[in-house]
Structures are given as structure tokens and as C-alpha cells.
Amino acid sequence: MRNFLIILLLIVAGIIAAVIIGFDIKEMASDTYYDDEQEGLDEQIIIRLSYVTAENTPKGRTASRFATLVEDKTNGQVIVHLFPNATLYNDKNEWKAVQNGNVEMIAPATAKISEHYPEWQILDLPFAFPNYRAVEAAYEGEIGETLLEELDRSNVKGLDLWYNGFKQITNRDYSIKTPDDFSRLHFRTMPGEVIQEQFNQLNASSSTLPFSKTYQNLEVNFVDAQENTLSNINTKKFYDYQQYLTISNHGYLGYGVLINRDFWNSLSPSIQKAINDSISEATDWGRRHAIEINDQHARALRSNKSLDIYTLSAEERAQWFRTLQPLYDKTRQTVGSDLMKELNQIKYQHAY
């Protein structure tokens, strides 16, 4: 009993001493866990941007530019985490992921958006754009604005269109020069009715495969050939199993930049403006540098001694276009006469 009283007296004395000298137990506890460098991190906004190409491509470089810009414009309040090479989602499941909010942003090829919004097929028509100026006029004019507005019917918001380059053909057996050379070949393609019908028109079969699985399917000879930009062909080393490259410029590969609408609506107007401004600046940077980036990869491919490169003549391009012309009549019924009229005006204004 005596010992108990002594301990109790010591505890009481300690408490009295703490009060007298201003000691605060709560303050001690907070010092243990508080780090002033972490202040404000609970307000930091993380955006995950998933895409399927490599970093050193027009899309990868533009995405990196966007991430830097938005962090600078928000003083670090918004951080963009980049997930290239389909490390987070591939082109088969990224649309559902952004719809559901499992990822905040994606940048799929326009052909993949056309699966859900058929009007986007207009951008995949063969020989739709005679040159880069025509692409810019479509992307940044009435066509691009109309297509982005179409997305308002979904839980994604279209922010902009990003650039890559013209598509070329690779094949493992021989150079493809004429429409007859496509006969009985099996192509890996992106999704999209126009692209599928393009190869049907050329008497070739096709399989829609994720971009991240293309190399593997070329390796096992499941497909004979594929179409892509020079930057994608080089960074993914498709030349390991495709010894023939045809410079055809028969179609243009670009991307829609999409963000989950619920996430977007949760952001303050000032953050939305910073993201929009960053996207706009990154798009302008990408447009100016996409040609240069693809040219760098073109030089690398031309130095590859195992690769046979053939460039279509003007006459051969005209032959391809005549063969594929029926696609325009069919697509007009899907995309509408107004968009087709605008495309024809662009082709006329920016003809070679």
C-alpha cells in the first residue's frame, strides 16, 4: 500500500511539473509525425496518363511535355504520372478504364475511338490527307472540333488531338508495291471499320490485335504484315521480323486525348484552365516536332542494312487510291455529308 502511494505521488508531481513549465504532451506527439515538407500534399492532384507507345515517339514525347507544363502551371499541385508501353492498360481495355475512372487520362489512336463513335472513321480514310498541312487543318479546324464534341455523350471529355505521322506498310516476304501485292496476306490492324474494310478491299485478311502484342505476333508468324508510323516501327523493332518496308503514306495516325468526365468535373476552374492550357501548348509542340521525330526514326531505319525500303511512285499511289475509292462512298453514309464536304475542301486546299 505504501509503495502504491509513493508511485501515485510521483505521477501527480510529474503532471504538476509539466503544467508549470508549459509542457504539452499533444505537441510532443505531433512532432513525432509531422513533417512540414509534407504540408499541402493532401491537396495534390495525381493524373495517370496511360498510353501504348514507347516514350521516344511523338505521343510519348508530347505526353512528357504535357506533364512538365501542367506541373509548372500549377506549381506542383497537379502531377501527371506517365504509363507508356501499355504498362497500365492496353488498347483493348483503356477505353473502359477511363470510362470507369480507373485511370484519369488516355491517348488512344483515333481508329480506336471510332469503335465507339463512328464519325471518327473519317480520320482513317486512306489518302484522306495529302500532306501535314491538311492534317493540321482537319485536326485544328471544324472536323476536329466536331469529333471532340461527339464525346460529350459519354463519360469522357475530349481535350485535343495529338499528332504522330503517316502510316507505312511492313511485310516479311516481299515489297508491297501494287494493290495486287496485298492479296492473301494477313495483316495486324487497329480496330475500326474503315481500316478493316481497307484491307478487305485489297483482298487481304486482317486481325485486330493490341499494339503491345504486335511484335509477338510477328515473331510467331501469326500475321504477315502490319501498318504503322516509322517511329512506332523503329521503337518496337518490328524490323526484326519484317524485312520489307513500303513508304506509302496511305493513312495518318493521330490520337485523341481523353479525360474521365467525373474527374474533370471535380477539378476547380483554375486547375481545368491550367490543364487546358498545358494540353494546348503540348499539342502545338507535338505538331511542330512530330515530323522531326519520325524523320529521326526514318534515318535509323534507312541505316538498317537488313531492311529493304521501297517508296511508292506517284502513279502507284494513284493506283492504290483508285482501288480504295469505294470506301469513301460507304463512309459518307456513316460520318455524314457535312464532314465529308469539309474533308474534300481540305484536300483541295492543301493538294500537292
pLDDT in tens, 157-198: 999 999 999 999 999 999 999 999 999 999 999 998 999 999
Confidence of residue 273 (pLDDT cuts 50, 70, 90): very high
Residue 13 binned pLDDT confidence (cut-offs 50, 70, 90): low
Average confidence score pLDDT of the chain = 90
| pTM reported for the whole predicted model | 0.86
User: Residue 205 in contact with residue 199, Cβ under 8 Å?
Assistant: yes
- 3 state SS of 46: strand
CA distance 138 to 275: 23
> Can you list the pairs that 73-79 forms with residues at least 24 positions away whose Cβ atoms lie under 8 Å?
73/274, 73/277, 73/278, 74/45, 74/271, 74/274, 76/44, 77/43, 77/44, 77/45, 77/271, 78/44, 78/45, 78/47, 78/271, 78/274, 78/275, 79/44, 79/45, 79/46, 79/47
Q: How confident is the model at residue 352 (pLDDT cuts 50, 70, 90)?
A: low
Q: Inform me whether the pLDDT recorded for 57 exceeds 90.
A: yes
Residue partners of 93: CB distance under 8 A and separation at least 6? none
Average pLDDT over residues 134-159: 96
Q: Comparing 26-30, 81-85, 130-134, 331-335, which segment has the lowest mean pLDDT?
A: 26-30
- Say if residues 108 and 63 touch (Cβ distance below 8 Å): no
Q: How large is the average pLDDT for residues 67-88?
A: 97
Element (H, E) at 233: helix 230-235
Q: Is residue 43 very low, low, confident or very high in pLDDT (cuts 50, 70, 90)?
A: confident
Q: How many helices (H) and strands (E) does the chain have?
A: 15, 11
- Model pLDDT, residue 11: 53
Nearest to 54 by CA among 256, 238, 252, 183: 238
Residue 233 pLDDT more than 90? Answer: yes
- Residue 126: pLDDT band (50, 70, 90) is very high
Q: Is the pLDDT of residue 19 over 50?
A: no
- Phi/psi for 312 (5° steps) reads -65, 145
Query: For residues 348 and 339, what is the distance between their CA atoms, to the nearest angstrom?
Result: 14
Q: Is the pLDDT of residue 245 over 50?
A: yes
Amino acid identity for residue 188 in this structure:
R
